[in-house]
A = this chain, B = another copy of it.
Amino acid sequence: MDLCRRFGLNVKNVRVAAGHTQEELADLAGVARSYMSDVERGVRNPTLKVVERIAKALDIHPAKLLG
């Protein structure tokens, strides 16, 4: 499984565990709702800056989302 897909699955797991919708998380991270959807499905190739913002929005260390 490639890193984008793994990242997406981790984001989804943490988001759902935190009880947020994609739209809520997208707003917190400052990205578009449709983009969050793509990221979670692993069909996008996000930059480190976006990884950093999503991690912050989820209140988790960025490295955890790649593990």
Contacts and interface: CB of A to CB of B under 8 A. Distances in A.
Interface of A: 2-4, 7, 45-49, 51-52, 61-64, 66-67
Q: Which of A45, A48, A51, A64 has the most CB of B within 10 A?
A: A48
Contact of A62 (B47, B49, B61, B66): B66
Query: Which secondary structure characterizes the binding site on chain A?
Result: helix
Q: Which of A4, A49, A66 has the most CB of B within 10 A?
A: A66
Contacts of A64: 63
A3 B61 CA distance: 10
A48 B47 CA distance: 6
A52 B66 CA distance: 10
